[in-house]
Chain A
Amino acid sequence: MNRLIFLWTALSVSLSINAREALILENNLLKAEFDVKNGSLIQLVNKATGWKIVDRASLGQSFELLVPLSDTDIRFNVVKGIEQKPPVIEKQTGGIVFNWSGLSAKDMKEVADITFKGIVCLTENGLEYSGEVINNSPYPVEYVAWPFLGEVSIPDKNQPFYHSTRSDAKELFPHFSNEHGYWGVDYPTSTSHLPEHAFASVHNREQGFIVYGKGNFPTNLIINSFELIPGFELRNTNPYSDEMDGQAVRIQFKSNQVIYNQSGEKTILNPVHLALYKGSLYSGITLFKKAKSVSVFNSPEWIQDPLTWQNISINNGNELINYAKEGVKFGVDVLLVRGWYRESNGNLQEVPGMKEAIDECHKTGIRVVLATNWTAANKRLTIYKQELNQYLMLDPFGISYNNSFLCPLSKRVQEKVIEEWSALQSLRLADGVINADNNHSDKSYLCFAHNHDHRYGEPTVNGTMDTDVSMAEIIRGYGKESKVVLGFGFMDMQNLMYDGYQISSSAPQFSKHRCLNPATPILSTVDVRNARRDINFALLNRFNISYELQFQRNHLEDYPHITAYGRNVKSFRNQYGDYIWDAECIGPVENLVEGNDLSHAMYISKKNGKKSVVVVNTSTNQSSFVTLKTNAPHNFVYASPENPAMQPYHGSLEVQPQSVILFLER
């Protein structure tokens, strides 16, 4: 006890010990209380809202390690922090250092010489969890759960409670979204992972906390997990009470950092931030945005404009020319081209007539962006059997995850990528590339091959980023002022070196992408069967339209109404560019718009600071009456792509199905 000292910081942080022998980290934002006997977090309070995230001290948890036992082949050997000897505790400015050493678990014959040093610090927005594992035992340490919250209490049982990431949103209450097979889990379980999902926010409409890794290029994979204990009361429905059939009801949260630490190794954890906020999910995303770096390079000017794209697939240059001729008629600015190269035995080859075709496209004013796939391999080729199959991404058993993508961490693969792709003339001539990265296909998160120049179990995204950076430099070297390098939005951190991306998330996730990267060019595909919806959502979120009108054939002339509407929207965006293009997209705002089946986004003009609101009627059948909730309706006018002239706004307005209204502040 006498080792404990009080520390005060300039941030009004306090570190104290209270009557129940708990250490407290506290500032004006939060209060976190740790049990000195076992280091468990026994209380966590969001002071801005009063939400006791961890409320029941009896449910407090500290950390967990997975230490598979090779001698008895017990892989599910979990070292539970609260069952260990009391940690040695040190203080540091605004933080606590817990040292657990000599760890044990029920299936271990003896204490293992493993030390886990866990550090918790107060930050401006919440807590930072960092630490290290020093492993002198004969066993590996596969992952570390740190932070580990023994409960995430439901702040308000009258509204849904979610777990959201950049890519999705899953309900935690009242219908816990169980996504793992019942055979493999004791309790309903939901997970997300970093860095691919960028962040994990736990929230309702009014408050939440958000978890993310520190830094742009984390070296470890993090699996965030939520478990509903002791299970559902009714089918897919959580218990409402604090106790069910004699057990405490809770949702446990862990941030499991996958380290594959081997015997004799020391591993430094990527710091994980747990930031608390008041407000909607977007308030949480703003905290994440503040913490991340921003792109430092300047994209070519042409991609900053509102553009119309078309996704096409070709077999030869003539087909590209034909698409360009058609595109000109229908207002297309850029063709995004697949099928422009073939894999022959040994190298890549362009289809016939590419040079002439790209020249021809440029003459008609159409830009060409070529689809690439840096690390994909064709297993039917002889070279694949001769060499490339050595570079497949392997699982811990030495079996390949898939036969299509090569390990991007391998230096040989990186060299091969540069060698093969740099030889293609079309890449020099075209206006840029859009690359399909290996987005963890077939679960290839990590690679365990011993001959790929990387550590055992290294995240493949680290290699993907390296390859992307190298290739982006090469492509930009062909014409820095004009060439663009795009991706498919695999990871948020790719925006540090990409000029934009074609979004592959579903529409409900769009606003998060825009909020994360307000100015990034994002393309959104327009499908034949939902063309109005897709165009409207592109308008709503400041995305570019990218036609992919594939329904038996992919020709714009087949769909006159779709292309006409696309041109209307483009012209509308040009007309009101100050409001909805050269403006900051704020996204949806609570209680701003009233009406059925409506989605909306607010913008603030960079030029004059005026507000505008884009409102979409998502109904396919019904008109909707939209009311802008403002005290000064007379300050607003409205317009639409079909009727672009400004009209005075007097109150409720009828919006046709699948249509848009733009409100503009005078």
Chain B
Amino acid sequence: MKNILFALICFVYTLNIRAQESHVLENKDLKARVHLNDAALIGLESKSTGWNVISTATYGQSFEINVKLSDGAFHVVNGKSQNKPEIKINKDELIFVWDGIKVGSSVVDIVFEGRIKITDRGLIYDGVLKNNSDAVVEQLSWPFIGEVSIPEKTDQLLFQYMNYTKFNTNELYPGYSGRGWSNLPEHSFTLIHNRKQGLYLSSEDVKFEEYIRCEYETLPTTGFSSMAGEAGSKKNNGERNQMKIQVKVARMLYLQPKLEVVFMPVVLTPYSGDWHKGADIYKKWRKTWYVAPHRPEWVKKVNAWQQLQINSSESNINFKIKDLNQYVDECVKYGVDAIQLTGWTRGGQDRGLPSHDLDPRLGTVDEFKRVIADANKKGIKILLFTKFTWVDMTADLYPDWASHVAWNNQGDTCRHPGYNYNTYTQLLGINTRRFGIFCMMDKDLRIKLHAAFQKCLDLGAPGMVYDENQHHAGTMLCFNPNHGHQIPGFVYKGADLLGREFMAMCKQSNPDFLMVGEGPYDIQSQYYSTYTRADYNHEPVLRYIDSDIPIACAVTDHYDKNQINMCLANQYAISYESRNFKGHLWEFPRVIAYGKQVDDLRKKYSDYLWEAEFKDTIGAVVSGKDLKYTVFARKTDGKKAVVVYNTNTKEENHAEISIVGSGLRQVIFSPEKQTPVAFGGTVVIAPQSAIVVIEK
């Protein structure tokens, strides 16, 4: 008994010591505990759910810094190994200053001032780093979350981030994901969640000032070793429960000697609810900076597209410019509004870039202008497929553009392996047209790209689809010293500048010119509309964030009504792409007939299904097998519409549909039966079919 009493006294004493050595930052949503000796985040608790993200204080971490010394030696330095920092404690903020960083046996003249602040948005990490040394500070992880514990009653813990209009998903638990990351601000925000609650992370950076890699890693704990290899070691996730997840918010600095960097604020906050609640945090912040671009009227109304390849990099000349009229007439016949024309540039799709001259084998520029103008008269918009991201290393023009190619930190030219078309040799990768990856921070490059873009504007087309605007094939930073940017340059920042410069050019040439990108990241949606490819299982995050962004989505298969229904449910324009966008609309008559029915319905009820606020699954309860559904709220009065579709391709299914809190009369209709009839709460939905219920 004496022993127990003694142990208890010791425990309480230890708690007191800990309480004195740490500082609590809290708001209505979270309570964070920071160790004052080393700035380690040793507690991060959700007040609404009780989830302590860092369940074990000893797992707490402060920062990690990667330093390359002038002799070439590389060191990863953990913040906890450093001398105690100088501390300033304000009401809602802690400021830690490490004046000199211990690297191996020496101290390097690096001053890191790390700030942790609590605001109503969450816990904010920022600061300043002064590199007075000859070393290069490659990376700083701040914050460094030493543990992301598994909340109680978790079936699955996910790491998700927005990419290409939807979520990229990595399973952290019970699966084993090893290591992975999201990029900020490219991916807007990152959620780590179990569908009932989660942790939101984002950098409050709308101009690509800083490249941040939000990186998770799954590591073994001491318990793992003693379990791995037993027959029952994986039962009930046994082995997995003996691993821990840590998350580093790694600021990819490559800060050169004698330079200083001010960090962008990184916010982290727990939330309660599914991913929509996490996205709501982003939506709220987005309202403070987002400016929607001017868009032409036609794209604000229900519209449909066709994508069509005229030529490929292997010179598969599908048709000539003069033949485009025939496709335009087919669009008129089938109720399609726009053609995304790929491969019209010199050499065909993905060759000859960044030239945006018409391939002379296809026809003349005058001929092309005439066809575009004629199509316009018929109400069909020719959207020019463009690409300004690469230079074709096999093209004659390469020497003129080579100096604008990005370099990696080894001084190597950044290359892309090129794309594969038509011939089996190219499909295998033997003779792809390799690309040099442009550094868009190079102002001289952007000026040359303006000239290329002007050629598109001069053709009189009503818009373009800038393919691969949303990535740089993994080249995030450029180390080429001849581009006029600080080393390194953040290539995405250059792409953002280019987009804004293009927008200014449109204002001059044709304010109604529609700039569309391929799955742009959200910051780009201030100037680019969206073309995407998705299946019905995706989470429509971009649409949830913004109900007004025009999004067109590919439909490729002969009778894939589910794909059409997904477009209906997510307010996507249908982009018909028969024979992988080499074919005619008449090649898949069934799907186009159904698509037309859906678009007719959307036109009829556009206030409910097109110009309404998209709520995804919020606001209705739908039950039944193999069903997907979304909810819209009419902007004028908030009346709801629910789109429900049966994804089963063979069997009809019974749906029970309830609009939350609705006391209004409800009616139901479908693409095939567009006359509304009273709805009593249940309906049988045929295979691959959709219905719409609205509040009257």
Contact = CB atoms under 8 A, between A and B. Distances in A.
Interface string B423-453: 1111111111110000000000000000000
A558 interface: yes
A642 B224 CA distance: 22
B530 interface: no
Contact of A142 (B234, B423, B535, B579): B423
Contacts of A560: 225-226, 229
A331 to B, nearest CB: 14
Interface string B204-244: 00000000000000011000111111111111100100000
Interface stretch (A4-12, A417-425, A526-534, A603-611): A526-534
Nearest to A188: B580
Interface stretch (B6-14, B112-120, B311-319): B311-319
Interface stretch (A176-184, A384-392, A537-545, A628-636): A176-184
B558 interface: yes
Contact of B587 (A72, A230, A232, A258): A230
A143 B231 contact: no
A442 B417 contact: yes
B455 interface: no
Task: Name the residue among B226, B427, B535, B581 with the largest chain A CB count within 10 angstroms.
Answer: B427
A659 B229 CA distance: 11
Nearest to A229: B579
Interface string A232-244: 1111010100001
Interface in B386-424: 393-394, 410, 412, 417, 419-424
Contacts of A237: 649
Given A143-B425, A443-B417, A186 B582 contact: yes
Contacts, number: 190
Interface in B342-401: 342, 349-350, 361, 393-394
A169 interface: no
Interface residues of B, number: 68
Nearest to A565: B229
B229 A399 contact: no
Contacts of A442: 417, 429
A217 interface: no
Chain B binding site: helix, strand, loop or mixed by DSSP? loop
Given A184-B421, A532-B231, A552-B219, A191 B428 contact: yes
B236 A621 contact: yes
A8 B309 CA distance: 52
Nearest to B557: A232
Contacts of B315: 72-76
B246 to A, nearest CB: 12
Interface residues of A, number: 67
Interface string A89-117: 00000000000000000010000000000
A559 B314 contact: no
A559 B225 CA distance: 5
A509 B410 CA distance: 38
B588 interface: yes
Contact of A76 (B176, B393, B420, B422): B422
B357 to A, nearest CB: 15
B70 to A, nearest CB: 18
A383 to B, nearest CB: 17
A527 B230 CA distance: 14
Contacts of A658: 231-234
Contacts of B66: none
Contacts of A230: 558, 579, 587
B580 A182 contact: yes
Given A245-B590, A258-B425, A552-B219, A231 B557 contact: yes
Interface in A173-224: 180-187, 189, 191, 193, 223
Given A230-B558, A234-B649, A529 B431 contact: no
B424 A184 contact: no
A402 B563 CA distance: 40
Contacts of B558: 230-233, 239, 244-245
A239 B425 CA distance: 28
A223 B428 contact: yes
Nearest to A257: B424
Contacts of B587: 230, 245, 247
Contacts of A235: 535, 557, 560, 562-563
Enumerate the 5 nearest inter-chain pairs by beta-carbon distance, A residue then B residue, closest first: A443-B429, A561-B229, A562-B229, A620-B234, A184-B421
5 contacts: A180-B427, A182-B577, A183-B350, A184-B419, A443-B429
